Structure 1
Amino acid sequence: MVQFCDALTLDAPRRLSDGYLAVRARAARTGVYQYTGREVDPDNTHGLRDKAIVNVLRDENTVFDAAAVRSFIGKPVTDDHPHEAVNAANWRDYARGTIMGAMRDGEYLAFDLLLTDSTAIAKVDAGKRELSNGYGAELEFGNFRAPCGTLCDARQSKITGGNHVALVKDGRAGSECAIKDGFAVCDAITADQLAMLAASTPPSGDKPMKTLTIDGLKVPNVSDEAEAAINKLTADKVAAAAALKAAEDKTVADAASIVAKDAEIADLKAKLEAAAITPAKLADAAREYADVQAKAKALGVSFAADADTVAIKKAVVEAKMGDAAKAYTADHVAIAFDALTKDAKVEQVPTNDAFRGLRTVNTNDNAAARDFVRTARY
């Protein structure tokens, strides 16, 4: 469970004869609320703790749940949020008034508040009028989309209990929740009355008309049928936006795949060019073959007539080192051969003689070039 502090703003207050201040204030709304990652995921269980802004969806089933609304009635009004939940042990330290009742006001939940502390009332008179709810809520984490199309990382699935409403300098609900000098009413509604209102229907039997907010504009007197049509259009709009986003994401992914393939092709071309056999490489191979042959002969080691450079080196190493060399890798054989033949007295073969009598090969034919190197004799 997460403890939340949400914003609202006092409407025009009414001063009572005993100095108390009575006011009805919009206390909560549906839609998207923004919190810091540390507020919603303090232990980083969902990887959101270090995120600057986390969008949290609050739908009307959660905001206007009868049990959740009733849980606020009778709870204290505080001056700023206390650093702990308000309870019977600390109530005298924090309470500056009481939440007397609640009712739905369009997309908002309105509270009837009675402020009883003169210092807190003076702060309201001086301009400190925004309010912030303190309550517990359960969160569902995932990908949620609000009716306006905003993507959210979490959704409040249940308000588990109201704790207090705090007077604050700057709240979270925005400029719409501002003090209205033309609306000063505080008709306290008890929890029992709220339950009766939620279960009742108009005496005439007519269907109640609703006020909807569409793209920030309030539309009064909307029937259930019109609301259903509007909700369908809104859902179609959200679905179309999601489909467009998916298509854009696929286009980006396809472009990235093409770039990766081009890079892979370029890498293969570079490797082929590096592996191509050239006349210079053939000359180097011939010199190395002649040198390895000469060193093997200088040490008195015989080898097969068709042995290549690697086979000759292995024959020399095994002849001089015995069974210990049989498990050597090609790299070990090369190192051992260099060590064994470093002082070998070999007869120098003139460069021209090294190639005399050799057949010409097509350097573009790698197979022929390999056969040429393997069978060359000096």
Structure 2
Amino acid sequence: MILQDSVTASNVRRTADGYLVAEARVARTGIQDYLGTEIDPDNEHGLRDKPIVRVYRPESSVFHKDAMQSYAYRPMTNGHPGGEGVNSQNWKDLAIGQTGGEVVRDGDFVKVPLVLMDARAIEDYEAGKRELSMGYGAEVVFQDGETPEGERFDCYLGPMKMNHLSLEHRARGGEKLRIGDNDPKPPKGGHHMADSLRTVIVDGLSVQTTDQGAQAIDKLTKQLADAGVNIKTLTDAHAVALAAKDGELAKKDAEIDGLKAKQLSDADIDKRVQARAELIGKAKAIHDGDYSGKGDAEIRKAVVIARLGDAAIAGKTEAYIDARFDLLVEDAGQDPVRSHFRAQDANPNKPGDNGQSAYESRLNDAWKGGAK
């Protein structure tokens, strides 16, 4: 795991080439306070949401032989690079100087020389950017316990391996841990936590937290804002869907009302049956055809064609055909011959013989001598 820590520097001077050289304490034993998000970002050990995680660095971690070798010739950066730190792929872009090779133990600390070589970084230093923060890797053993001095801790570190040393405006250790400051080591068991706090505004309230805490707050604030946008998007989409569904329901209601309006009462049905019977009666009076399955307009058209032929209505409108049908009906009602045959059709048991029966009767009675 890549961690960051604050260190102090002393014996600052400028060289003839314009470089800035100093000595820095880059590591110490004891307990350091970290955020849960730094130590357990994936919450594998249930520490991510813990405000402060106490990390113990025993002498076996800080002064391990491999650890002591790793403090030498480490690159310096102007701000922590993030990710996996500095390596051969990004060194040229990130390095502003380096630590030296004279690594020594200084009580509970490890001290190394350093040199700032980049002009811009030196300008930043002269403008007040003087705090130092160490970036290092170490195995974190998630096991709580107690130091020889009786201090409780949540986990402890294996041998440390330094990656880089960063020039910062605000480092974890606070403004007293800076280049050119001979302030003694931080209080035993921790660093100047209060000195490294930042003030951020959360929902209108001022909150003091570390740089890492501020980053976490910014991330959560953005997530909440994004969640608000997503909720609004979903709400708007839901409202549109409801409006569309309401429109469909209103259309269905209108269709139902239309169907209800088209429903016929018993009286209406009787009227339509009577009208249908009258139409078929008129049609048969003109032309005795089969009109089953035909609509009213089709019946009128069939009658007109039967009496007058197709040419009579070719290209004519339905209103014209209806008028011709009505004229045929009127003519059929005034024709005595057609009326006579209609009477016969109506009473087949009493056919008219135009005097034929009387004539036959006289012939049959002539032998009786009544005729002269």
Pick the TM interval, shorter chain: 0.3 to 0.5
Query: Normalising to structure 1: TM-score of the pair?
Result: 0.46
Tell me which structure has the larger Cα radius of gyration: 2
Query: Normalising to structure 2: TM-score of the pair?
Result: 0.47
